[in-house]
Amino acid sequence: MGANETIGINLDHLRLLILGGTGDATELLAKASLLPQLQIMTSLAGRTQHPVVPAGAVRIGGFGGVEGLVTYLQQHQIDLLIDATHPFAAQISHHAAAAAAACGIPHLILSRPAWQPVPGDRWLDVERIEAAATILPDRAKRVFLTTGRQQLAAFAHLESLWFLMRMIDPPLSGTAVPPGELLFDRGPFSLQDELTLMTHYGIDTVVSKNSGGEATYAKIRAARELGLPVVMVRRPMLPAAEVAPDIPAAMAWLTRHIHP
Ligand code: NAP
């Protein structure tokens, strides 16, 4: 369904918009689809070439800022908004909070808790991706860079290091890419595969966003087992909003709004 198509009016249903692009959004959709009171639309940004397209009604592409999202919510008479985007997709989360407030509709952020270090972890916490690039040259030679294709340019000037760069799609043409090898793959990843990969490439340091959740946690476990440091990029600030840490909590929120 295209971005401008309308959902047919059905007064028996509440209309839920899920902002997606994550495994959690897909899982939430599967569960929420079992609630007969809901009519659900999922929205994807359109970043990946071959997205995992969720079942049901899907629209793809940006809304055009807060204003565009407000227009969308109004035109499609959305009753409930769940932001299930990735914790590092900060812009859309802030837009969603502002748009939901402007329209006066209930809004929930589904966000897995951040990973916390456990004994054996050797984390170097950094505020931003650029800070990760700043501290690498003094500590690393062969880096497993798992922050995705949009962040490659921040490391491109580090010519004395070697990078194994994992991402879903190739970098866009014109992107500055650090020296090393590109690896195209999509999680979830297993501990054994991460151990094999890091050992095979002689990795001495991992760079990761603190995404939380299980799907990409194996690299953190593998780094622990191999005694490797992880440069961990902290999450951006979420907007002030109700937050559900997992799918059951998001389902409970939905149920409360269906049966107030
Ligand atoms: P972002 O920086 O927060 O958003 C940039 C712009 O992309 C937004 O202003 C919005 O455009 C559009 N957008 C983002 N998510 C959207 C959605 N679900 N539906 C419609 N438009 C959306 O986001 P990002 O970090 O580029 O991430 C883009 C998508 O990839 C998100 O859906 C996110 O869940 C997924 N993802 C991101 C990461 C990550 O590390 N950032 C990792 C895994 C998955 P307009 O202003 O025009 O509305």
pLDDT tens-digit map of 8-52: 444 568 999 999 999 999 999 999 999 999 999 999 999 888 877
- Specify the pLDDT at position 8: 43
Q: What letter would DSSP give residue 29?
A: H
Determine contact, residues 146/162, Cβ cutoff 8 Å: no
pLDDT attached to residue 252: 98
- The number of the ligand 1 atom at minimal distance from the alpha carbon of 85 is 34
Asked if 91 and 30 count as a contact pair (C-beta separation under 8 A), the reply is no
Q: Given this model, what pLDDT does residue 13 score?
A: 87
Identify the pLDDT of residue 235: 96
What's the pLDDT score for residue 2? Answer: 43
Confidence (pLDDT) at 43: 97
Q: Who lines ligand 1 at CB under 6 A? A: 19-22, 43-45, 47, 62-65, 68-69, 85-86, 88-92, 95, 148, 209
Residues in the chain predicted with pLDDT less than 50, given as ranges, are: 1-10
d(CA 228, CA 207) in angstroms, rounded, equals 11
Report which ligand 1 atom has the smallest distance to the Cα of 92.
Answer: 3
Alpha-carbon distance of 166 to 170, in angstroms, equals 9
